Structure 1
């Protein structure tokens, strides 16, 4: 949680292929809980995180195999 900004917001999009959060998640506690939940799933071995520009700031793009989600 130390690397998350106090005003962090997670936007999730499953691209119609996987379930995603229906609303944005706000705050480091909610975002960290979501990320830990995703990483606890069996497909977590295929997770890749990489920096990505998001609305003019640095964000993180989370990919699960061929599926993408943008926190």
Structure 2
């Protein structure tokens, strides 16, 4: 499905890495119970994943052809 938007296999790998790192960093930084930390990490990780996909798709549309 993501191939329609120009998202390649390495882009999906990078997406997983970005989401995991952001979610872990947020979970460590947020104060509260473990449930609050996990939920905050999941929400911020998901938002960063969506932003990553949008930016990657836009870059793939406008990048020069070599």
More helix by share: 2
TM-score normalised by length of structure 1: 0.29
- Structure with max Cα Rg: 2
More strand by share: 1
Task: Tell me which of the two structures has the higher relative contact order, counting C-alpha pairs closer than 8 angstroms and 6 or more residues apart.
Answer: 2
